[in-house]
Every structure is written in structure tokens, then in C-alpha cells.
Structure 1
């Protein structure tokens, strides 16, 4: 019997189902892999925003991680919401013992502008988490938070990538969706030497909750299946573009992307 690639997501729970652990697991399944989870925080969250956040103890995060990795094993890990400096450092320490590619989505603020990471965690993200990353996937707000670089044009994306790479990830994907100009959504993937510009149609759809989680998880699924970084990122970009195009209204605010768009679900 064929065993699918195994992807572990380390992130927070989104009770509305559009982002976080829920989006990660849907994405991984949609791309033919087996998803496993380490929950770092529980949120009360819906289409309007985040109404509450409850961080889990480091001991609980460590126990979940060890349970999965020691028995089942992993072929890729994706990190998302880590909530606090203590959890960032805990997860970074756990990742040091894993021989698998790691996709770090440095989640700081939700789609609705709610804080998902303590301000005091910035140094821990820079000093302990980013050096563990095979690929880091910051959006433009996260780039500014991490490096102070403000991206206002495509030309600025190279400077932003250099600034993030200085913290140690092997590759960085600067997500340019927030530039908000033109007919294309443009991202830059680079390891400091090779450059890959990824362009996709910009869809006029406000229902984009979970985009970042979905993209990072799709990259992890590709890496778990044996793809190299540029191939995994290109395939993930194609998948998330379709998911954004098919995003749907849910509740009274911003709805989610559609993870099952390829089979009409």
C-alpha cells in the first residue's frame, strides 16, 4: 500500500476553518499528502476577525511534536502562528533535530489586523527560527516587521529578500500580493544567487482568508513529495492562485480561499 508524503504543520487553530491548522490540513490533503499537526494556540476566530487567543504551554507543544516525529516521522514541516517568544524558541529547538525541509511562514498579524505573535518574539524569530528555514515566506507587512524594509515596488523586493536572507533561511519567498497594483500578483523566490519571479493573474476577490497559510503548506507538500524548492514554490503558487479565484463568502466578513477547487469542492 502506498504511503503518501507526510507533512507536519506547527501552527494555531482557526475556529472559522479558513486559516491556520485547518487551512494547512486541507491544503496538504488537496495536494495528495498526509497532514499532521502540532497546535500552538487556540483562537476564537471568524470572518470578522480574532476574538480571542489562548496560547498552549511549551510542554504541550513539545509533547505533540515528539509524538508525531518519533513514531510517524515527517518529510516536511511548516510553521505558522507561534504566539510567543517561548514557543518560537521551543519550536526552533525541536526543528534542530529534524532532517526534513522546513517552511517558515512568519505569521505576525491576521488578515483582519489582529496580532498573532507577541512583539517580544521578534528577536526569537530572527535568531532561532529563520535560521532553521529551508524556505521563509513573509508577506510585505512581515518583511517590514522583520527587517524594517518597506516594499513599495518590485525593485524593492530584491532588497527585502537580501534583508531576510541575512537571518539565515536558505531561500526566501517575498510575497508581493500586498503591492496591490497591476493585473499580476508577483512574488520573488531567491537564495541570494538564483532568482525566480513568479507571476499570476490578480483576481478581484476579497475572500482571501488563509492565503498565506495555504501557500506555505502547499510548498511543504511539494517538498515532502521530493520536489526541489523552485518547483515546489511554482506549483504552490499555481494552486493558491486557483484557490483565491474560487474563494467564497462566509459569514459577514472576509471569506476563505477554496482549498478543494481542483475537484469542485
Structure 2
């Protein structure tokens, strides 16, 4: 992971502008570049290097993304910049079913509102912010013109990308349901490493992350890293931050259950057609 961080840091041109905090209300925007490592699991062992490269090229838009975080003192709005598919020239409609939608967070009210679309149906996920028990260290580094400090934490993996779906996770749940073992299964945890700057005194960050005494400019977790490439404070153009409003209201847990039930239904229907 460290080698990936160093490589990306060398490639990205950080256009970060220094900022002196004031007592007045302020707004800002931060652009993040996200890159995830492709995990092919047991299927990858049977593939040639050429096949792996072809899959990587096909999934480039899912593995490499650009996001914009707009924020003020108490609110933030996080959205992905849409890209055309690297191969077909079209948007990635399949991947959109399991991608993160537009996300509004209010740190004062501990509230999250996120728009999700699953197979043409719109949902409005309303829940609390992810609670992260950060451990703040003394290690520091410069990102652009900002002095950043390191913070680490561990959170349940299922809470990080709750809008996604995994056949592996579904199989595990089904195995647990069918098992007669009385032992409580261990909760899978994901380690997080974040770098935040007190020079921008807001408790915001990309995606689910936040709750630190400064804007998060870099975060890595699992096979993914997000790096801030640009920060603009008090831009000339007014920034309006509003929560999404369209869709069926639902909680994170209920949304996950909806996805699982739909995917099981699709799997069963496919199995019946083959009979």
C-alpha cells in the first residue's frame, strides 16, 4: 500500500492553496483521485497476464475515479465525476448499480443522506454518520502546502461500502444461516489510514470518512486509496450544499437487505431458465 501511495503521490500534481482559518463562515471544494487494486481471487490464478490486463482495462472506470467534495463548516456534499467507459465509450450502467451515489453529510446533526439507484429504482438512504474511533498519531507530512497528521482506525468492513454487493459476502451469510454452530462469527474489520490538515478546520473527508480535527486530504483502506489533488477555499462561484431529495427513504441496513434479496432473486431466476 505504501508503494502505491508513493507512486500516486509522484504522479499527481497537487494544486493545493494554503488557507488561514477565520471565524467567518467559509466554503470550499476538494477534488480526490481514487484508485483501487483489482482482486481476481481464485479466478485470477487461471488467467494469463494478457487476460488480466484486458479485464483491468475494461474495469478502469470502476478502479480509478474522480470525486468532488463541497463543504462548509457543518455540511458536505460528495459526488463522483462521471466518465465514459474506456472500451465502449458509454457510461458504466452495471457498475452504477453498486457505486456510491451523491452523499450529503451534516456533522452537527450526525446525519447522512445518500441517493442510490438500483436497477432503475431510486432510493434515499437516511442514516447516522459512520462512527470512527480515530487514533491520532504524531507522524506528519506535507501534502501540497498543507501540513498533515496521521490518524488510524479500524471499522467493520461491511460499513465502509454498504452500497456495494459481493457474492462472497452473500455466500458467507448463507453459510452462517445454515450452520448449527453456536459460536458468534468474528466481524471482518478494515484498517484505515488517514492524513488530515488542521489548517482547514472542518471535520469532513471523502466518502464515509470524517470526524477528525481537519479536512482529510488522503485516506487508504483495503485495496483503495483516495488522494486530494486540489483544494479551493471560498471560490468566487457560490457553493450551495443541499441534501438529495428524490427516492424511497430507507436505512443503510434495509438498503443492503434489498440488494441481497434482488440479487438472490436474479440468481434463482437464472438457474430456473437453465433447467
Q: TM-score if structure 1 supplies the norm length?
A: 0.29
More strand by share: 2
Q: Which has the higher contact order (CA 8 A, sep 6+)?
A: 2
Larger Rg: 2
Q: TM-score if structure 2 supplies the norm length?
A: 0.28
